[in-house]
């Protein structure tokens, strides 16, 4: 059973990604921040690690579905579909094997792409202008996405480094 505060945070993990449908730029970034912070908060509030992991992975997948829906509106829809399928394979393998290395092997490149592209749409004012900028800087954009996500998935799922503990000396549930 969830406490009211735990339930509110879990509810936010559904509401915030849903907002991407109407407000892609602020919602995709807010979703990222929420996903970074929610574990420490929920674990500190007494949620069991196994329950948190299940809720987090299901909520993450919900956000990927919303990203797919939003991405289908944009000129990058093909890469969005490919990245969604790629991560879906990783999600399915994780739930079948309970091996979190599946997230390292099937990395979430969809989220940073959506974060960058939503920023471009916001700054450029249209999908067409965002796509032009994306194509012009595609190599730099993909270097950033690949470098960030490979490092991110490595420290989370391969090295199992808790950055909250590493940088701030605190972690949820500690």
pLDDT in tens, 125-154: 999 999 999 999 999 999 999 999 999 888
Sign, CA torsion 80/141/32/155: positive
Burial class (CB in 10 A: 0-12, 13-18, 19+), 78: exposed
pLDDT band per the 50, 70, 90 thresholds, residue 164: low
- For every residue of 143-155, DSSP letters joined together read HHHHHHHHHHHII
- The 10s digit of each residue's pLDDT in 79-133 is 999 999 999 999 999 999 999 889 989 999 999 999 999 999 999 999 999 999 9
Q: Residue 93 and residue 75: Cα distance in Å, rounded?
A: 29
- The 10s digit of each residue's pLDDT in 26-58 is 999 999 999 989 998 999 999 999 999 999 999
């Amino acid at each position: 059973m969830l406490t009211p505060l735990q339930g509110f945070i879990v509810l936010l993990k559904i509401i915030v990604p849903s907002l991407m449908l109407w407000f892609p730029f602020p919602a995709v970034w807010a979703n990222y921040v929420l996903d970074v912070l929610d574990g420490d908060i929920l674990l500190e509030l007494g949620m069991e690690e196994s329950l948190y992991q299940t809720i987090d992975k299901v909520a993450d997948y919900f956000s990927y579905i919303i990203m797919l829906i939003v991405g289908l509106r944009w000129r990058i829809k093909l890469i969005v579909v490919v990245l969604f399928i790629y991560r879906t394979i990783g999600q399915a393998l994780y739930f079948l094997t309970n091996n979190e290395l599946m997230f390292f092997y099937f990395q979430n490149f969809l989220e940073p792409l959506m974060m960058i592209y939503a920023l471009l749409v916001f700054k450029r004012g249209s999908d067409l202008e965002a796509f032009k900028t994306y194509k012009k800087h595609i190599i730099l954009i993909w270097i950033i996405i690949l470098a960030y996500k490979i490092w991110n998935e490595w420290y989370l799922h391969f090295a199992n480094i808790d950055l909250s503990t590493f940088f701030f000396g605190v972690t949820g549930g500690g």
